[in-house]
Amino acid sequence: MALQGIEVEGVIIKEYPAREGVSQRTGNAWKSQDFVIQTKDQYPRACQFRVFGADRIQQFNIHQGDTVHIWLDINARPWQDKYITDISCYQCDHIDPNAVNTGAAPAQPASQLGAAPAAPAQSAAPAATAQPTAAQDPLGGDSSDDLPF
């Protein structure tokens, strides 16, 4: 069973030359190209992946420096008492890096991020007003350490 549908968004930091050949088993020509994508997280992560097939390589048109959103299929196969992991890209969308800075694209994530802290901030206010009553701890504990336990 293959893990399918893992999504990664980031910048292509390495583009390897395409490789091609003829399958010894089927006699069909093949072409593949490897890339490395790096996320834009606080702690960026990198992942090397492969695009298999001349048609997909041409369709995806991935190059170093591109900002992309990719869907990956991960599969491992045994080879000489080890497992080799193959990470293949089966779908790719290019992202305009200028659109990210205009506010149009981040509007949705910003609203999601803005909504999440707003709820705890509102709930923190009642907790702050309830804290003076916590000084009347029935167990006689010290409430100055602010620990919930």
Q: Which pLDDT score, from 0 to 100, does residue 145 have?
A: 55
pLDDT at 14: 97
The more confident residue out of 98 and 106 is 98
pLDDT computed for residue 146 by the predictor: 59
Q: What is the dihedral of CA 139, 140, 143, 148, to 10 degrees?
A: -20
Residue 82, pLDDT above cutoff 80: yes
Q: What is the pLDDT of residues 13-57, one digit of tens each?
A: 999 999 999 999 999 999 999 999 999 999 999 999 999 999 999
Average pLDDT, whole number, for the chain?
77
How is 63-129 classified by DSSP, letter by letter?
-TT-EEEEEEEEEEEEETTEEEEEEEEEEEEE--HHHHHHSTTTHHHHHHHHHHHHHHHHHHHHHHH
Asked if pLDDT for residue 88 goes beyond 80, the answer is yes
Higher pLDDT, residue 146 or 110: 146
Give residue 69's pLDDT: 96
pLDDT at 125 over 90: no
102/66: higher pLDDT: 66
